[in-house]
Amino acid sequence: MRRLYTSASACAHHLECSLSGERYDIGRPHGLSRTGKPLMVRYDLDKVNRSVTWAQMKARRSGFWKYRELLPVMNGENVISLGEGVTPLIALRYSVPAGARVVVKDEGRLPTGSFKARGLAVAVGRARELGLRHLAMPTNGNAGAALAAYARYAGLKATIFCPEDTPEINLREMAAQGAELHKVNGLIHECGRIVQKGVEESGWADFSTLKEPYRLEGKKTMGLELAEQYGGTLPEVIFYPTGGGTGLIGMWKAFQELVALGWIRDKLPRMVAVQATGCAPIVRAWEQGWDQASLWRDAATVAAGIRVPVAVGDFLILRALRESGGFATAVSDQQILKARDQVAREDGLLLCPEGAATFAAWKQALEQGMVSFQDQVILFNCATGLKYPLPEGGSCSDCDHP
């Protein structure tokens, strides 16, 4: 594999408990902190500033490894790349009222067809660097697919547990890419308990969302990339379909780091967490003014990627919403499918249900006066719409015509 850089250029400095601030050695494998909270990578930002300028970083060859001084893979030998490109920004034209400034960041163009590739590329690379060999994960589909692909390409073993009603295409994708796959009669947090047992009994590395520190850093690249694409003046509002919340927390972390480096001005976007009414623990916590969310019972939604009844990073999501002046909002499955059909029909852009949820949430927020018509808005389409069951030809889920 082509070596991109050496450990001398590494700027990742230590790990920090996201609740207590307690420090941990970055040179050894870690899961959660002693208090059971996610660990975050902290960088020597002076060293970053001495090593590279924002202009130099942006001028590098495309793909998110260009941001390597702000990523935790120390040595270019351990970069596991399946060809991650910059994902495009696509302005909606016909599916929004004239004059609205709504742009889709289409993450479906990444390897394995979802933005889970960002997180897993970085986490698997770092796992290899730390000498881990057997990675295990509970998943609703896309994260497992990305883990399977990147683990295989890195020569590591992946064991994956998913709810038995996980979309068939995801199950086949994971199995086809060499993962050991188990279907579980339960939801993702119940799969997580099985992984936990394997960690204790067989020494697997727990690759659950936010239970290792490095997937977050991969997801952070969405924020770095947006800052690059917008040339320093970020959009006003970001709508993000929120399950475990890695992307939302990661982007917020990226913006903080860019501000601390003096690379962008500190007018940051409002972060909006979008959930489905059938599984909305973060929205409930937000509306109740809680610092943490509680388990959502009988979670159900067509948007499988955001069917996450309990998130270990709940307090970090809520904190990012608060700090950014954003909010949390839920939309129904009916609104989601209607949005998916509308954007595809009117703008030719096939969103995944989770991405469609952000469109429905934007429309709803506009009606409720939570965002203004003048706001420049980003909607995250997290996966290619082609991975999901589509309406039959000649019919669509919202309209009367046959």
Ligand X SMILES: *Cc1c(COP(=O)(O)O)cnc(C)c1O
Contacts with ligand X by CB under 6 A lie at: 114, 116, 142-143, 209, 241-247, 305-306, 352, 354, 382-383
Q: Which residue shows structure tokens 């990675």?
A: 135
Q: How far is the CB of 305 from ligand X (least distance, A)?
A: 3
Structure-token pair, residue 229? 């694409």
Task: Report the C-alpha gap between 267 and 323 in whole angstroms.
Answer: 12
**Shortest distance (Å) from residue 140 CB to ligand X:** 7
The smaller minimum CB distance to ligand X, of residues 66 and 387, is found at 387
Q: Provide the β-strand partners of residue 89.
A: 105
Distance of CA 246 to the CA centre of its chain: 5
Q: Which helix (H) or strand (E) holds 206?
A: strand 205-206
Burial class (CB in 10 A: 0-12, 13-18, 19+), 262: exposed
Name which of 333 and 354 has its Cβ closer to ligand X.
Answer: 354
Considering the complex, what minimum distance in angstroms separates the CB of residue 250 from ligand X?
7
Which residue number, 138 or 243, has a Cβ lying nearer to ligand X?
243
Nearest-approach distance from CB 368 to ligand X, in angstroms? 23
Rounded Cα distance, 390 and 383, in Å: 14
Q: Is the Cβ of residue 92 or residue 352 nearer to ligand X in the bound state? A: 352
Q: How far is the CB of 215 from ligand X (least distance, A)?
A: 9
Asked if 229 and 223 count as a contact pair (C-beta separation under 8 A), the reply is no
Residues written for the chain: 402
* Amino acid in position 114: S
Q: Residue 21, Cβ neighbours under 10 Å: how many?
A: 10
Residue 225 beta carbon to ligand X: minimum distance, rounded to whole angstroms: 15
Pick 247 or 309: Cβ nearer ligand X: 247
The distance of closest approach from Cβ of residue 385 to ligand X in the complex, given in angstroms and rounded to an integer, is 10
Of residues 38 and 241, the one with the C-beta less far from ligand X: 241
Amino acid letter, residue 212: E
Report the residue closest to ligand X, judged by CB: 305
Residue with Cβ nearer ligand X (204 or 239): 239
- Provide the CA 308 distance to its chain's centre, in angstroms: 13
The helix (run of H) or strand (run of E) holding residue 163 is: strand 157-163
Instruction: Give 82-141 as a DSSP string.
Output: S---PPPEEE--SSS-TT-EEEEEEGGGSGGGBTHHHHHHHHHHHHHHTT--EEEEE-SS
Identity of the residue, 11 or 311, whose beta carbon is nearer to ligand X in the bound complex: 311
